[in-house]
A and B are shown apart, each in its own frame.
Chain A
Amino acid sequence: MTSAHSKLYSDDVSLVVVVVDTNPFFWAGAALPFADFLSHVLHFVNSLLLLSNLNHVVIIAAGVSSCAYVFDSGNAGASGAADVAETLGKASRKMEEFIKQDARETASNGTVADGGAASLFSGALSLALCYIQRIFRSGTRHPQPRILCLQGSPDGPEQYVAVMNSIFSAQRSMVPIDTCIVGTQDSAFLQQASYITGGVYMKPQELSGLFQYLAAVFATDLHSRTFLRLPKTLGVDFRASCFCHKKTIDMGYVCSVCLSIFCKYHKKCSTCG
Chain B
Amino acid sequence: MDYRPSRMAVVAKCAEAFIREFFDQNPLSHVGLVTIKDGISHRLTEIGGSPESQINALMGKLECSGDSSLQNALELVNGYLNQIPSYGHKEVLFLYSALNTCDPGDIMETIEKCKKSKVRCSVIGLAAEIFICKHLCEETGGSYTVALDESHFKELLLEHAPPPPAIAEYAAANLIKMGFPQRGAEDLISICSCHKKIKSGAEGYICPRCKVNVCELPTECRTCGLTLVSSPHLARSYHHLFPVAPFDEVTFKLGQKGGQNCFGCQQSLINTGGQSNIHVRCPKCNHHFCFDCDIYIHESLHNCPGCESQRSSSR
Contacts and interface: CB of A to CB of B under 8 A. Distances in A.
Interface of A: 1, 64-69, 72, 105-106, 109, 111-112, 120, 122-124, 126-127, 129-131, 133-134, 137, 156, 158-162, 164-169, 172-173, 192, 196, 234-235, 237-240, 249-259, 261-262, 265-266, 268-269, 272-273
B235 interface: yes
A127 B315 contact: no
Contacts of B304: 126
A237 B181 CA distance: 9
B238 A262 contact: no
Contacts of A262: 175
B301 A266 contact: no
B102 interface: no
A105 B310 CA distance: 10
Contact of B311 (A120, A129, A272): A120
A269 B175 contact: yes
B166 A131 contact: no
A255 B208 CA distance: 19
A259 B238 contact: yes
B265 A133 contact: yes
B265 A134 contact: yes
Contact of B173 (A172, A261, A269): A269
Nearest to B186: A234
Interface string B224-236: 0010011110111
B231 A239 contact: yes
Interface stretch (B38-46, B137-145, B289-297): B289-297
Contact of B175 (A129, A169, A266): A266
A246 B152 CA distance: 46
B276 interface: no
Contacts of A240: 180, 230-231, 234
Given A65-B310, A130-B265, 19 more contacts: A66-B309, A111-B313, A123-B308, A131-B264, A131-B265, A134-B265, A134-B267, A134-B293, A158-B315, A161-B239, A164-B235, A172-B300, A235-B182, A235-B183, A250-B182, A252-B177, A255-B173, A255-B176, A269-B175
Nearest to B308: A123
A65 B312 CA distance: 9
B202 interface: yes
A252 B176 CA distance: 8
21 contacts: A68-B309, A106-B311, A126-B305, A130-B297, A134-B293, A161-B235, A162-B303, A167-B232, A238-B182, A238-B231, A239-B180, A240-B180, A250-B179, A250-B208, A254-B177, A255-B176, A256-B88, A256-B175, A259-B238, A265-B175, A268-B173
Q: Would you call the interface of chain B mostly helix, strand, loop, or mixed?
A: loop
Nearest to B240: A259
Nearest to B166: A257
B301 A165 contact: yes
B302 interface: yes
Interface residues of B, number: 59
Contacts of A266: 175
A206 B314 CA distance: 37
A134 B308 contact: no
Contacts of B166: 257
Interface string B274-296: 00000000000000000011001
B24 interface: yes
Contacts of B299: 1
Contacts of B296: 1, 129-130, 133
B194 interface: no
A251 B177 contact: yes
A169 B231 CA distance: 16
A10 B87 CA distance: 50
A255 B175 contact: yes
Closest 10 CB pairs of A and B: A130-B264, A123-B309, A123-B308, A256-B87, A134-B265, A126-B305, A238-B230, A250-B208, A164-B235, A253-B175
Contact of A161 (B242, B310, B313): B242
A159 B239 CA distance: 13
B254 interface: no
B308 A120 contact: yes
B232 A164 contact: yes
B180 A249 contact: yes
B127 interface: no
Contacts of B87: 256
B293 A133 contact: yes
A253 B310 CA distance: 33
Contact of B226 (A106, A124, A251): A251
A165 B303 contact: yes
Contact of A160 (B202, B235, B297): B235
Nearest to A131: B265
A79 to B, nearest CB: 22
B180 A251 contact: yes
Given A67-B309, A256-B176, A273-B173, A165 B231 contact: no
A196 B232 contact: yes
Nearest to B301: A169
Contact of A130 (B172, B209, B305): B305
A112 B24 CA distance: 37
A130 B304 CA distance: 10
A127 B305 contact: yes
